[in-house]
Amino acid sequence: MNIGAAARRSGLPPKTIRYYEEIGLLTASRAANGYRDYSEADVQRLGFVQRARRLGFSVEECRQLLSLYSDRDRASADVKAIALEKLAEIDRRIEELAGLRRMLGQLVESCHGDDRPDCPIIDGLAGDGRAGGGLAGGGRAAGAADPAASAGARSGTSVPAVR
Amino acid sequence: MNIGAAARRSGLPPKTIRYYEEIGLLTASRAANGYRDYSEADVQRLGFVQRARRLGFSVEECRQLLSLYSDRDRASADVKAIALEKLAEIDRRIEELAGLRRMLGQLVESCHGDDRPDCPIIDGLAGDGRAGGGLAGGGRAAGAADPAASAGARSGTSVPAVR
DNA sequence: GTGCGCCTTCCAGTCGCGGGAAGGTCAAGC
DNA sequence: GCTTGACCTTCCCGCGACTGGAAGGCGCAC
């Protein structure tokens, strides 16, 4: 099976499949003409990665999950641990966004939104000190309770677009 | 004021301030020795951008907000429109994450997490068809009701880390 | 004069791809 | 046999919003 067919069957664009091969996430055998050649099992793995990505797992996490996938002696606890951590990450991200939403919502609510220049949103951003929320300076954003020993990451948890 | 002092007062790292200058978001005058020199008004603008970024506005949106900030004839409606759109974006993102959370939560719940290899999480990712949620193939993720004519973007809404 | 901390520029890397160029391959149609 | 078009290959560049580091200049205290 050529890459195009594998792409249609797995839901991943050919470019992405090549990228995954380049970074060593997946492999593909080659036909005599140099074309990549995918087996049914390959397509299975491609679909596996596609679904894992759509659930919010990073490519590196997909690597771990793939290795567990093909490990017949895995402990489901190992899989669950990864999933639980991702779940916690998603929760943190939701909390963070909820905090943003709260602050921005307050500003928006207090703004008349007419043709006059007076604007509490601008004032809040300008840091006049009257900002209620966490807009001050050194503070932590919002919602997130703990310093969050977040895994080296800036806030992201990005997921591929569905098309 | 040198860049270091401006950085401490605005909450932005010097690297970021230079970057903002490079992309034309802000400007800085230069002292005789070639050092960047920041006025009080400059520091105000830096803080403005810092707070806007922390609220989830992209750098391009910060550009618009800055221009409204320094426009004495602005209509607060213009500011509010930007903020409302951002609010909607945040809401979409939260919905999307909530959908992920739901699906992943279901998988996690159904996994015993012991030392045996049987694992509904792996099975779900492997696409055995028994996946309840939106893991199938061509479908839309979860939560998001509408095709979402989302502004050219893949899911992101990233916010700078607070430190 | 020498050490330290600050400043400057430039280059490279991050993450997960997408776009597009330049060229090879294959099957269908004439 | 020849062309056409769809497919495939590799390669490099770009995104957003920075961060890290190298190499070198400046300012001030000791």
> For A12-59, what is each residue's pLDDT tens digit?
999 999 999 999 999 999 999 999 999 999 999 999 999 999 999 999
Q: Which residue has the tokens 């060593």?
A: A24
Is residue B134 a part of any domain in this protein? no
Is residue A158 a part of any domain in this protein? no
Is residue B145 a part of any domain in this protein? no
Binary contact (A141, B80; C-beta < 8 A): no
Other CB atoms closer than 10 Å to residue B41's CB: what's the count? 9
Cα-Cα-Cα-Cα torsion A45, A51, A55, A61, nearest 10 degrees, comes to: 10
In this structure, the answer to whether residues A8 and A65 fall within a common structural domain is yes
Query: Is nucleic acid strand D under 7 Å from B60's C-beta?
Result: yes
Q: B145 falls in which pLDDT band (50, 70, 90)?
A: very low
Is residue A35 a part of any domain in this protein? yes
Alpha-carbon gap, residue A136 to B89, rounded angstroms: 23
SS3 B29: strand
pLDDT at residue B130 tops 80: no
Residue A131 or A157, more confident: A157
Asked whether B25 and B49 are in contact (CB, 8 A), the reply is yes
Query: Is nucleic acid strand D under 7 Å from A143's C-beta?
Result: no
Among the partner-chain residues B74, B104, B162, the one whose CB lies closest to the CB of A141 is B162
Containing domain of residue A139, as a range? Answer: 91-147
Q: Which residue of B has its CA nearest to A138?
A: B11
Is residue A84 a part of any domain in this protein? no
Among the partner-chain residues B48, B74, B104, the one whose CB lies closest to the CB of A127 is B48
Q: Write out pLDDT tens, residues B93-106.
A: 999 999 999 999 99
In this structure, the answer to whether residues B32 and B88 fall within a common structural domain is no
In this structure, the answer to whether residues A60 and A100 fall within a common structural domain is no
In this structure, the answer to whether residues A65 and A95 fall within a common structural domain is no
- Cα distances from A25 to residues A15, A62, B92, B122, in angstroms, run 14, 8, 30, 17
- How many domains is chain A partitioned into structurally? 2
Q: Which residue has the tokens 């409302």?
A: B84
In this structure, the answer to whether residues B60 and B97 fall within a common structural domain is no
Asked whether A134 and B138 are in contact (CB, 8 A), the reply is no
In this structure, the answer to whether residues B19 and B56 fall within a common structural domain is yes
Is residue A116 a part of any domain in this protein? yes
In this structure, the answer to whether residues B9 and B65 fall within a common structural domain is yes
Binary contact (A80, B127; C-beta < 8 A): no
Residue A137 or B82, more confident: B82
Query: Is nucleic acid strand D under 7 Å from B54's C-beta?
Result: no
pLDDT value for B129: 65
Q: Write out pLDDT tens, residues A66-107.
A: 999 999 999 999 999 999 999 999 999 999 999 999 999 999
Bases of chain C within 7 A of a CB of the protein: 6-9, 15-19, 25-26
In this structure, the answer to whether residues B98 and B57 fall within a common structural domain is no
In this structure, the answer to whether residues A17 and A48 fall within a common structural domain is yes
Calculate the angstrom distance between C1' of C27 and CA of B113. Answer: 52
In this structure, the answer to whether residues B7 and B45 fall within a common structural domain is yes
Strands B29-30 and A36-37: unpaired
Is residue B64 a part of any domain in this protein? yes
In this structure, the answer to whether residues B27 and B51 fall within a common structural domain is yes
Is residue A157 a part of any domain in this protein? no
- Its ipTM equals 0.85
- CA-based R_g, chain A, Å: 23
- CA-based R_g, chain B, Å: 23
- Cα distances from A72 to residues A64, A67, A99, B110, in angstroms, run 14, 10, 43, 19
Q: Which residue has the tokens 């067919």?
A: A5
In this structure, the answer to whether residues A64 and A8 fall within a common structural domain is yes
- CATH value at residue A61: 1.10.1660.10
